[in-house]
Amino acid sequence: MGAVAARRLRATITSPMASDGIGSGVTAREESFEMQSPPLGAPSTLGLVRALLTIPLLLAPADAQGTVATQLFGPFGAAGGAGVPPPGPFRLLAATHGFGQLLPHRVFELDGSGNPTMQVVDVRSLADIIDNVAANNPIHAIQPWPQSATLPNGLGGNQFIAVRFTGDIDLTTVLDSSVAGQASFGLLGTITVVAVNPALGTVVPVPGRAFIGGRTYAGTSVGGQLPLQTWFSASGGQLVANPGIDNDQDGVPDGLGFPGTEPATSFAGDVLLANPATFVFVPDADGDLATHETFPAGREIRLQVSTAVHSTGGPTLADPALAAATVGPDTIAPEVRFVPFGGPLISPGDGDVGVDPGTSIRVVFTEPLQPLSVGSLPDGSFPGLSPAIAVRFGPPGYVTDVPFTALPASPFDLSLYVLTPAFAFPGEGPAGLACGPFNRVDVAVNPGTLQDLVQNTNQLAAATFFETGAGPGLVNAPVAPDAIYAATVGATPSLAVIDLNGFGASTGDPTFDFSLSEGHSNYPNNPNVHFQGTSLLPPLAPGSCTVDGGSAGVFTLTLDSNLDARLVRPPLVRSLGDMMLGHALDGTFDDAPAPFGCQAGGGNVCALDGLKIVSTALGGPNTLEPDGPTGILTPGAENLISWAPHPNPPPMQFPPLCIAPNIGTQEPTSVDSGLAHVNLLAPGDPFGDPGLGIPPSGLLTPEQNAFFQGPTQGEILITNCTPYQVRQQVGHFLYAVDRVAGEVVVFSSNRMTVIDRIPLPDPTTLAMSPELDFLAVVNQTADTVSFVDIDPASATFHTVVHELQVGSAPRGIAWEPGNEDIIVCNEGDDTLSIVSAFTFQVRKVVGAGQDGPFEVAITPRQTQFGFLRNVYFAYILGRDGQVSVFESGPNGVNGWGYDDVIGQAGVVFASPKTIQADPLDVNSAVWIVHEGPFPSGVPGEGALSKLVFDSGLLGQINLTGADLGHPHFRDMQLRVLVSVGEAELSGIPLDIAFDDLRNLGGLANEHSVFSAGTPVPVNGKGLVRRLPGSGAWVNTNEPRYAFLSVPNPRGGQGVVDVLRLDVAGTPRIDTNAHQVGVQSIPLPGVATLMDYFRQ
């Protein structure tokens, strides 16, 4: 039977619509047809969901190609489906072609051990992908269309593809009513149906007709616009063609031939194709639905939905979507999409310039891909290098492969992936670098690596590149204890590092000659590099590029590979404020072989935790040195704050030491080097005399703090490894407040790469537990303190574990060095919240005894040192210049401390800026930054003063009846011991920090019976330690230098003043031997300064 005869036979079938008196004449109006049929808006969205949930599963016989019909919209009622889409936003419910579910994609749910279960998850969020997709659990394959024109029930009929939404579609945002628009088959472009030839890169619209709720634009145009016609509707539980629509006047309804409208061809769920929440596309090359057609064979058929699709209620689609299938078995290779006669659809790419160094990379493919074939998912683990896509930068000899995570841009579109690099790319640097630019980024796609959902692999390679614009370069900065960290404010907030080592292989200018010119590299003057570098393990040599140019000397600012001292700046941050250093990084990131440390691209068996035997002994009055088995052993401990690596920092290496996690610098000098070599870099002359041609020759620290203690190099057998005590990754977790962005940003203090971002309501100031397990963050406008877990071994690492309501407008905060309390200054109501370190609850609120308390410093409980009072003291700085003193308890009967404010200092510190505990004085003292030095008190003159308890009765004094209700100092005397003005200072300072060059932080923290938790064995932030052997109590840190930030010095821009603490008068010292006079460290906009023991 021919096509025309078949059509005329079908035309004789009586329509239920006609029997209802609607009529079948060609002049029947659309309006009359709609009035007599069930409302096209019914059921409602809620009713629609209910209807979908009740559709039975229909198993029809296999067609000639073996295809079995399945339920039309599988997520609702199909066996194994999991989850119902949330109400609210306008979203995609499902996409189907009648032979299986196209969208949402499906995957088996993983159990707690990471094994697939039989429970099926409909992928409706990116979290569904991250939580369930694994190497042994890919996204389910898509069923193809049959190779013949077949309906889901196995009968003959037009193929189709359909998408359902959570609400009725505003068809004016999808269908084109213009005559000209019919060249695009009536689609505006917000939804497209195309046939893709990946091998040739061609994308061709599929000829056909689109319907929403049975409606389409067709008929006779008026003014270039076609009328909206309803070609079919649901009636009596089946689809029926509208007899009133016969545009070619052949006596046959134009809608007859739409899937399910022909006699006895109904299939499960077909009535939903007539609902106004459903978009349907039917291939129709000849403009006649009566002739059954398939989609083009040998092509990837792709339906794409953009977020420009609106619901009738107004909202736009929440997530873009793409459904794809083939006619017959899918043997088509997936490829990167190409612009016709152009390059691959990779953005940025195609030679783009001025790209943000923090960019992600978007890659468009010809069809949905298995996520893990593109790259690692952002599941919290270290991303490795993708075998499919290489992202790299750097000139020859310095090429760096960048790990990245890969995730679809939408859970409903697995053809568009966003690659997020593990760290920002270098920004554009100065021209003329000898080693070439670092800001060109190459992206290459390798053939035979990408997999589609049926595991076909790509056959074609693709490549492109882009160049980054202004932004931070690569950073390799010296680390604590040889560093002071500085934050600047202004139009370009930034973070800088003041180098207190001066002989490291940091990023910087590699220029070196014997003229000893200012700004040239001092790294070649490191005697270990100069005299024995080639024979050390690993070898050391002067740098030749800005990535390994080396330090310019002590008290200089570290430069990045672009020779910029702003190591962190926008776009990495929007502002910078308070800062803290946490755990050493090597406890989390190291180069031990997988599965322990390095997960990809590296691995040294000699860097295993078990070989890291930290053994310390006293090396000097205030320092520790490595010792043998007789020392204080702490196996597997993280790098000690007491020791700097040698060199500090070690140079960058290419390829990196480890790719995942990215450790881009070589190990510190190996312990094996010490068998044949003496460490020649010792305390000495850190400046030299450039005028006499005498180079720097020794460290700034007066006691040795760097040793050859890195891991053994190049061994395969663990039996050939020597125990070691320092390793990569050097540096610490650096926590910085970005108040404008509402987050605490976590950096590597060595590489200045972003490790994490912790969103908070209004992060303002920080305090860190002396045991390094929690970070307290004041949110001033929220009147809260957030407690963030900063223990890398914790399951809640870098998450907020507790929110605490405190007083009004809190600002200043400090953690008692013995881990008893946290004291919060509530500036808005002039109170103090005393928070228990045991419970993180406010145990007491006391009046501050001043106006506007905004800063606080706490000295430890004097158990066996100081005045032996067995209490701790906190010093509260108010906006009125008063300093109130809080004395801890226990109070009450049988107590010996008031647990309250006991009085004021008796002097006023005008225009106060900040306060910090004095690390040197175990009797309890603080340094106060203010204006008006004593005794003159000249207004507007910068000042730094030391307030001390200098006399009092010794020993614990129990409270008596007369004392209980009257807090007072009890014979202790406070006085200003030192006050420095602008005879030494460059201007009005804002903040203060101290050097950590000599410290006993490698010893265990000290606790009292009032302390919470367990003392951390190394690197605790307590201010006192007990010496091994003698048991003497001493201060933890022995600084020689105080650093003062002066943003507006007399006659210049911002500087950092450096004062000598161990010299009478606390004089400012010269930081630059190249210039005449006493020079400070230039740093425009400097505000916040930070050292390791900062409160």
The pLDDT-based confidence of 54 (bands split at 50, 70, 90) is very low
- Higher per-residue confidence, 654 vs 922: 922
Buried b / exposed e over 1049-1086, threshold 16 CB at 10 Å, is beeeebbbbbbebeeeebebbebbbeeeeebbbbbbbb
Return the pLDDT at 1051. 83
What DSSP character marks residue 837? T
Q: Is there a contact between 208 and 195 (Cβ–Cβ < 8 Å)?
A: no
Angstrom distance (rounded) from CA 54 to CA 691: 91
Please tell me which of 73-77, 458-462, 600-604 the model is most confident about, judged by mean pLDDT: 458-462
The average pLDDT across 596-603 equals 91
% of the chain residues with pLDDT over 70? 91
Positive or negative, the Cα torsion across 308, 313, 318, 320? negative
The CA-based dihedral angle spanning residues 543, 549, 553, 555, taken in that order and rounded to the nearest 10 degrees: -150
**CA-to-CA dists, residue 630 to 438, 610, 617, 1028, 1029, angstroms:** 48, 18, 8, 12, 12
Residue from 862, 828, 818, 821 nearest 848 by CA: 828
Return the pLDDT at 32. 25
Question: Looking at the predicted structure, is the pLDDT value of residue 19 above 70?
Answer: no
- Give every CB contact of residue 1062 below 8 A, 6+ residues apart in sequence: 1040
Return the pLDDT at 201. 85
Return the pLDDT at 601. 86
Question: Looking at the predicted structure, is the pLDDT value of residue 998 above 60?
Answer: yes
Question: Looking at the predicted structure, is the pLDDT value of residue 553 above 70?
Answer: yes
Query: How many of the other CB atoms lie within 10 Å of CB of 1037?
Result: 25
Question: Looking at the predicted structure, is the pLDDT value of residue 30 above 60?
Answer: no
Return the pLDDT at 73. 60
Q: Is there a contact between 957 and 869 (Cβ–Cβ < 8 Å)?
A: yes
The pLDDT-based confidence of 629 (bands split at 50, 70, 90) is low
Query: How many of the other CB atoms lie within 10 Å of CB of 350?
Result: 14
The average pLDDT across 885-907 equals 96
Return the pLDDT at 53. 28
Positive or negative, the Cα torsion across 949, 951, 955, 961? negative
Q: Which fold has domain 760-981+1000-1036?
A: Lipocalin (2.40.128)
- pLDDT tens-digit series, residues 922-949: 999 999 999 999 998 888 999 999 999 9
% of the chain residues with pLDDT over 90? 83
Total residues found in the chain within this entry? 1095
Return the pLDDT at 515. 85
Angstrom distance (rounded) from CA 348 to CA 353: 9
- pLDDT tens-digit series, residues 689-724: 999 999 999 999 999 999 999 999 999 999 999 999
Angstrom distance (rounded) from CA 413 to CA 415: 5
Question: Looking at the predicted structure, is the pLDDT value of residue 8 above 60?
Answer: no
The average pLDDT across 524-535 equals 98
Reading the block at residue 630, the tokens are: 């007789």
- The count of C-alpha atoms lying within 13 angstroms of the C-alpha of 820, restricted to the half-sphere facing its C-beta, is 24
Q: Is there a contact between 768 and 776 (Cβ–Cβ < 8 Å)?
A: yes
* Dihedral class, residue 454 (left if φ above 0, else alpha if ψ from -120 to 50, else beta): alpha
Q: Is there a contact between 390 and 384 (Cβ–Cβ < 8 Å)?
A: no
The average pLDDT across 776-787 equals 99
Domain locations in the chain as residue ranges: 3-42+146-325, 106-139, 346-468, 760-981+1000-1036
Return the pLDDT at 380. 84
Return the pLDDT at 58. 24
Return the pLDDT at 964. 80
The average pLDDT across 680-688 equals 98
Q: What is the mean pLDDT of the chain?
A: 91
Return the pLDDT at 381. 85
Question: Looking at the predicted structure, is the pLDDT value of residue 11 above 70?
Answer: no
The average pLDDT across 644-654 equals 97
The CA-based dihedral angle spanning residues 576, 578, 584, 587, taken in that order and rounded to the nearest 10 degrees: -80
Least confident segment among 45-49, 268-272, 407-411, 445-449? 45-49
Q: Which helix (H) or strand (E) holds 50?
A: helix 45-53
SS3 content of the chain, % helix, strand, coil (to 5): 10, 30, 60
3-state secondary structure of 674: helix
Beta strands in 160-258 (DSSP E): 161-165, 191-197, 202-205, 208-212, 215-217, 228-230, 232-235, 238-241
pTM score of the predicted model: 0.82
Return the pLDDT at 71. 53
Reading the block at residue 900, the tokens are: 């309250």
The average pLDDT across 358-374 equals 97
3-state secondary structure of 230: strand
Question: Looking at the predicted structure, is the pLDDT value of residue 52 above 80?
Answer: no
Which string of DSSP letters, residue by residue, matches 333-369? PP-B-B-TTS-BSEES-TTEEEE-TT--EEEEBSS-B
Question: Looking at the predicted structure, is the pLDDT value of residue 418 above 60?
Answer: yes
The average pLDDT across 665-669 equals 98
Residue type, 612: K
Angstrom distance (rounded) from CA 594 to CA 27: 77
The average pLDDT across 322-331 equals 98
Residue keyed to tokens 């000898």: 434
Q: Is there a contact between 553 and 472 (Cβ–Cβ < 8 Å)?
A: no
Return the pLDDT at 514. 83
Return the pLDDT at 427. 84
Return the pLDDT at 434. 63
Return the pLDDT at 64. 30
- pLDDT tens-digit series, residues 945-993: 999 999 889 999 999 877 787 899 998 999 999 999 999 999 999 999 9
Query: How many of the other CB atoms lie within 10 Å of CB of 473?
Result: 27
Domain boundaries 346-468, CATH class:
mainly beta
Query: How many of the other CB atoms lie within 10 Å of CB of 141?
Result: 15
Angstrom distance (rounded) from CA 805 to CA 803: 7
Residue from 1078, 1044, 1049 nearest 1061 by CA: 1044
Return the pLDDT at 692. 94
Residue type, 921: D
Question: Looking at the predicted structure, is the pLDDT value of residue 24 above 60?
Answer: no
Return the pLDDT at 27. 27
What DSSP character marks residue 258? B
The pLDDT-based confidence of 893 (bands split at 50, 70, 90) is confident
- pLDDT tens-digit series, residues 89-106: 999 999 999 999 999 999
3-state secondary structure of 644: strand
Question: Looking at the predicted structure, is the pLDDT value of residue 475 above 70?
Answer: yes
Angstrom distance (rounded) from CA 456 to CA 337: 16
Q: φ and ψ at 265, to 5 degrees?
A: -115, 10
The average pLDDT across 179-191 equals 96
Question: Looking at the predicted structure, is the pLDDT value of residue 529 above 70?
Answer: yes
Residue keyed to tokens 């993180």: 840
